[in-house]
Structure 1
Amino acid sequence: MVHQQRSPAQLSQSGDTEDMTMTLAPRLAYFAGVARTEHVTRAAQEMNVPQSTLSRAMVRLEQDLGVELFARRGRTVALTPAGRTFLTSVERALAEIERAAEEVRADADPATGKVAFGFLHTMGTETVPGLIRAFRAEHPRVRFSLVQNYGEAMLERMRAGELDLCLTSPVPDAPDLVARRLDEQKLRLVVPADHRLAARKRVRLAEAADESFVTLEPGYGLRRITDALCAEAGFRPKVAFEGEEAETLRGLVAAGLGVALLPPPAVPRPGVAELTVTAPRAAREIGVAWMAGTVDTPPVAAFKKFLLSRKGTLLT
């Protein structure tokens, strides 16, 4: 079957602007060079392309657009009004492409590049600042774009290309991701300071079966772990309040509004007691994840290697 090739003007009329862009784009730098010098031969020399190639490209460009861009006077040319209008947009587009190219080259620079790094809210006070400080002792000029969020939201941002790596819990298991377990964090039963259990050092989770719980919202990894541990202890938690941040939950506990299963705080908070849970075993795994099949820039590769070297000591 033979398909008739349509001109870019026809494609544009049919709404296929993507095909129009793909056809015009390779000729834009040629056009800008000729417009700048107003001389085809001189432009060909400056851009190191054959004059015949450049001349044909300009003719095809005018045919594609359906307008005359140049008024020709021998080997010299002058822009027509349409050409001047077109040049303004072409120069803006080429400048934006150059800016984008410089930006991605800068981000990939081994010494000064950028790492887009996501992590859980509970790791933002001490753990992540400590990691970055230790990493930058050897890579002092690497830049970071930091994102705090819950696990599923970070994984979606990573799938969208917005993050290079993320620290999350639970450690994800998905075919499009690579994940490595780095450490484990004990969870404590946090109760108000005047609670009946507050004088205890250790507690079985089943002893809190009748309590009201304050938890993170559904979808958060810590919420799933809380629900699973309570189920293992033989009860379903009665949820009184749901939040988005662990320290907010600690404040609710201090106000006497319930109890919570939480990782240790960065700084001890007054008004609560934090009890070791003896049964079931209460802990969450912390891991690092990245997209499978991606090619790391040098700064991302260096930071990934650094994180993997901290296995077992991430939280210390």
Structure 2
Amino acid sequence: MAADAPAALLAPRLAQFAGVARHEHITQAARELGVPQPTLSRAIARLEADLGVDLLARHGRTVSLTPVGRAFARSVERALADVARAAETARADADPGAGKVAFGFLHTMGPETMPALIRAFRETHPRVRFALVQSYGEDMIERMRAGELDLCLTSPVPDAPDLVTRRLDEQRLSLVVPTDHRLAGRRRVRLAETAEESFVTLEPGYGLRRLTDALCAQAGFRPRIAFEGEEPETLRGLVAAGLGVALLPPPTVPRPGVHDLTVTAPRAVREIGVAWMAGRPETAPVTAFRRFLLSRRGALTSG
């Protein structure tokens, strides 16, 4: 059977291939899928035969995706997400008060803001379930485009023709310094005063990193990066250890060993907004939660 194999014959093996593609390891994928390893190996071999292409390169007990396999895996993930969304829509049509919302949000919103939002929403929608993804902006946008997320709460607010976005709130960023730092006795600082400091910040690709770079550029310097991380509270710990200074949103809970200064120039804030795919059909729970978020405009981070 060649590359024009009917979808009905390919469909049963697509989820199996997606599992192998995620792990690039047959044994781990078989364990995740709950099937014997020989059964999974034969299924992938039949899929390759049906398509007439090599999806995997075998290296003893491990495998890796071929270029064709990697491209096919992306398409398969999108197709499986469409199927899951169709099933969710069918369930929601049967019971509009139930269903699931796949929602992404920033790490800094996880400990307090998101639990409070979901608790408030479920007071009027108690049967709605959530699949939550905590990540950074670019990753959430790609997951949304792949059909893995319905909505995401992100910063900066993206500008793309395939997205609908709404600004919801803003957070002031503070300059965080160790308590024994030369600036620790002050309440305010101009960012230009930190031109010679070492900064700890998020890795490239994170919105807060782009904002840090942009604010420093407005202040007339390029920050000297001492450490890069993936989570703001970890950066706060690095500052407490005396390893640099950082521009950060308010902490979840006060951390000893650091002092937050208000940045007077330039204005140091980050905008937070909600984004969703333009023109994509959505279930009743997704629509309800989106409207709920829009109703929190200006009060999103205040509890």
- Tell me the TM-score normalized by structure 1: 0.69
Written as runs of structure 1 = structure 2, the 5 A alignment for 1:232-247 is: 232-247=218-233
Task: Please state whether the residue corresponding to 1:156 is helix, strand or coil.
Answer: helix
Q: Does 1:303 align with 2:289?
A: yes
Provide the residue aligned with 1:18 in structure 2. Answer: 6
Aligned residues: 229
> One-letter code of the match for 1:16?
D
Provide the residue aligned with 2:151 in structure 1. Answer: 165
Q: Indicate if the aligned counterparts of 2:168 and 2:297 stay in contact, CA closer than 8 A.
A: yes
- Tell me the TM-score normalized by structure 2: 0.72
Q: Does 1:106 align with 2:91?
A: yes
Task: Please state whether the residue corresponding to 1:241 is helix, strand or coil.
Answer: strand
Written as runs of structure 1 = structure 2, the 5 A alignment for 1:10-159 is: 12=1, 14-18=2-6, 21=9, 104-106=89-91, 109-159=95-145
Structure 2 distance, partners of 1:19, 1:130, is: 44
Task: Please state whether the residue corresponding to 2:6 is helix, strand or coil.
Answer: helix
Provide the residue aligned with 2:72 in structure 1. Answer: none
> One-letter code of the match for 2:258?
V
In structure 1, runs of 5+ residues without a counterpart are: 1-11, 23-97
| 4+ aligned runs moved over 6 Å, structure 1 | 98-101
Q: 1:156 to 1:192 in 2, by over 3 A?
A: same
1:105, distance to aligned residue in structure 2 (A): 2.6
Written as runs of structure 1 = structure 2, the 5 A alignment for 1:199-210 is: 199-210=185-196
Q: Does 1:190 align with 2:170?
A: no
Q: 1:255 to 1:150 in 2, by over 3 A?
A: same
1:100, distance to aligned residue in structure 2 (A): 9.5
Task: Please state whether the residue corresponding to 1:252 is helix, strand or coil.
Answer: helix
1:170, distance to aligned residue in structure 2 (A): 0.3
Q: Indicate if the aligned counterparts of 2:88 and 2:99 stay in contact, CA closer than 8 A.
A: no
> One-letter code of the match for 2:6?
E
1:99, distance to aligned residue in structure 2 (A): 10
Structure 2 distance, partners of 1:123, 1:99, is: 27
Structure 2 distance, partners of 1:276, 1:100, is: 45
Provide the residue aligned with 1:221 in structure 2. Answer: 207
Q: What is the identity percentage for the equivalent residue pairs of Structure 1 and Structure 2?
A: 75
Provide the residue aligned with 1:94 in structure 2. Answer: none
Provide the residue aligned with 1:35 in structure 2. Answer: none
> One-letter code of the match for 1:208?
T
Q: Deviations over 1:2-55 (max 9, x none)?
A: xxxxxxxxxx3x442127759xxxxxxxxxxxxxxxxxxxxxxxxxxxxxxxxx
Structure 2 distance, partners of 1:279, 1:157, is: 35
Q: Deviations over 1:161-200 (max 9, x none)?
A: 0000000000000000000000010000000011010011
Q: Does 1:281 align with 2:267?
A: yes
Task: Please state whether the residue corresponding to 1:303 is helix, strand or coil.
Answer: helix
Structure 1 distance, partners of 2:165, 2:6, is: 37
1:128, distance to aligned residue in structure 2 (A): 0.7
Task: Please state whether the residue corresponding to 2:149 is helix, strand or coil.
Answer: coil
In structure 2, runs of 5+ residues without a counterpart are: 11-82
Q: Indicate if the aligned counterparts of 2:88 and 2:100 stay in contact, CA closer than 8 A.
A: no
